[in-house]
Structure 1
């Protein structure tokens, strides 16, 4: 083959490779495409980061996030009515974190629940100068519990870290309670209205009555008339939402209804825990609700419109 033929063959080969590369780029798309635009919920200022955007991962699934780590001092413990839990949050330098920004009146919110959704507790530990948190827990039921630490490092973003706590003893797992729109607790009736639609800010309204009369003098708890935690039953993904409005804003009534906005990341069953305060006592009403399943009233909820890739 002469020199001219070699050059012609080489040029033709380059053309084929270049054309193939263009074809691949058309299929795969550019690698530096911008992230999808953020679509805020109806009231994004009332939602945590993981609830405000369907593209964000829920909290509580990882023991380490943004280089902060939740470390339980003892991941196994015997059963008891007043078991001390000690833990620390370790910062990116490996040092126990001691400076936190207050969120809803507290430096850290600790949520503890057994993995079958039994034994829910929302408590506020005490921090010592060395960065060790401690709090007594009611762990009379054996099993594996999920411990959620919900906090904001000073000058940083809010995080929810999760770790398992194993409570020794005979484990008697319970099925997820059936969906219902009404719960009775200590003489109070709490009713839930609304549907969860994945990827959308869904309005949930809870109303509180006592002895058949609307409760119109709910007391502020953690800066609001109600506090709602939602957990996905399949993996205990954590969604932490707060009501629309707040005490003293001149608009929000002290009951009987409390409106929440929550964005669930996927289809599935969720367990909802509502904390409310009345007559100086905080009570917790627990509900099961299906995203894109049945509403609290038992009617079919609409299926979400799926565009592109779902999360």
Structure 2
């Protein structure tokens, strides 16, 4: 992972990236088990065509740079604890055995619902056969996207974010995306977002944490930083993963209340931002809806949102 944005250009091909489970649209109905896709064969996600010949945003591709995300558990049951299993394979179909450690982990796994109302930041373990496993408990049926964020070991290797579709079976009813606002409430904490997410231009986003009306000035390091930010584009779930400007122990970065990021959106549109921060020994996630290219919205009364889990 890098400080700043690891995603640079707008990609067309939204239809190719939508999960079959989400394809039920705005209706209500059951989501059943879909057969697992054939492995190591061509996949519509593997070659979307970006506009203007630019790079494809992270998370839209099943395969990239000679590596493939082989999701061995393409279907789970909503509200049941399941083991999510996957393998990262190289161009010869062999399991990748060596990864660079970044922010204390070899690989970071994100699971998000297609309507962006459920978010999990997970840290799976790798077995001796190089299969990754993590428990997951998804609250609602529907389509989800799994993102594997990693850097293979080796000189000159670059960071990759590969994505695959996941279905949670059960009665399904989509939720609307929460309205844009510049504050989020989670477990008694209030997080304020200042700054704009701009398409094609880097800009500072500052998130300020308070509790009971007082600034939190003793945030704890989590995976080597005072905060982690993931942004997903509504519609195709193009993936942005940024890290703070500064890190604990660098002599300049304070442990709150503000955490600063530099980010750029690959296109205009609506995005969902998820901030992970640690305080009093527990990791919490604050979520925001923003529209790229528009100023931060005026403050409004907090509304209930589903708490994030799985750290």
TM-score category of the 2 structures, normalised to the smaller one = 0.7 to 0.9
2:39 counterpart residue number? none
Note the residue ranges of structure 2 that are not aligned, 5 or more in a row. Answer: 11-53, 300-311
Kindly report the root-mean-square deviation, in angstroms, between the aligned alpha carbons of the 2 structures.
Answer: 1.6
How far the C-alpha of 1:48 sits from its partner, in A, is 4.3
Rg: which structure is higher?
A: 1
The residue that corresponds to 1:173 in the other structure is 174
Counterparts in 2 of 1:126-275, with a 5 A limit? 126-155=125-154, 156-275=157-276
Give the unaligned 5+ runs of structure 1: 1-43, 299-311
Per-residue deviation, residues 98-120 of structure 1 (Å, max 9, x unmatched): 11111111000000011001220
TM-score, normalisation: structure 2: 0.79
Native 8 Å contact 1:192 1:296 kept in 2: no
Q: Give the direction of change, closer, same or farther, for the CA distance of 1:73–1:45 in structure 2 (3 Å limit).
A: closer
Greater relative contact order (Cα < 8 A, sep 6+): 2
> Is 2:88 aligned against 1:79?
no
The answer as to whether partners of 2:5 and 2:263 remain within 8 angstroms in 1 is no
Q: How far 1:197 sits from its partner (Å)?
A: 1.3
Q: What's the CA shift for 1:45?
A: 5.7
| 1:294–1:48 Cα change, 3 Å | closer
Distance in 1 of aligned mates of 2:291 and 2:206: 15
Q: How far apart, CA to CA, are the structure 1 residues paired with 2:65 and 2:297?
A: 36
Q: CA deviation at 1:140?
A: 2.8
How many aligned positions are there?
254
State the TM-score, normalized to the length of structure 1.
0.79
CA deviations over 1:197-238 (Å, ceiling 9, x no partner): 111101101000011110000001111100000000021000
C-alpha displacement of 1:192:
0.4
- 2:3 is the alignment partner of 1:46: yes
Normalized per residue, the structure richer in helix is: 1
**Do 2:4 and 2:261's aligned partners in 1 also have CA atoms closer than 8 Å?**
no
* Stretches of 4+ aligned residues off by more than 6 angstroms: none
Partner residue in 2 for 1:118: 117
The Cα of 1:294 is off from its aligned counterpart by: 3.9
**1:221-275 CA distance string (max 9 Å, x none):** 1111000000000210000001100000000000000111101010000000000
Q: Secondary structure at the match of 1:149?
A: strand
**Conservation of the 8 A alpha-carbon contact between 1:226 and 1:258:** yes
